[in-house]
């Protein structure tokens, strides 16, 4: 079972990506991750601190 925080962080990541009009592939390229990894995070799966830092860094979110 996924934690609520994981789901919320994934939704925030997706909202920021969409606001910047990036595809999952484009964000993944910026963050050095695969499109599949971005998809997992956005769905609240596979959340690791290192992935979140890379994604939010690529989104220029602080």
Instruction: Please report, for the chain, the start and end positions of each structural domain, with discontinuous segments joined by +.
Output: 4-57
Q: Output the pTM of the full model.
A: 0.87
- Three-state secondary structure along the chain? CCCHHHHHHHHHHHHHHHHCCCCHHHHHHHHCCCHHHHHHHHCCCCCCHHHHHHHHHHCCCC
pLDDT at 15: 97
pLDDT tens for 1-36 read 568 888 999 999 999 999 999 999 999 999 999 999
Q: Is the pLDDT of residue 53 over 60?
A: yes
Choose which CATH entry (3.40.50.2300, 3.30.70.20, 3.40.50.300, 1.10.260.40) describes domain 4-57: 1.10.260.40
Q: How confident is the model at residue 48 (pLDDT cuts 50, 70, 90)?
A: confident
């Amino acid at each position: 079972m996924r934690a609520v925080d994981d789901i919320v962080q994934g939704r925030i990541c997706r909202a920021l990506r969409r606001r910047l009009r990036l595809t999952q592939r484009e964000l993944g390229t910026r963050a050095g991750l695969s499109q599949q990894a971005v998809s997992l995070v956005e769905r609240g799966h596979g959340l690791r601190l290192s992935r979140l830092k890379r994604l939010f860094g690529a989104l220029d979110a602080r």
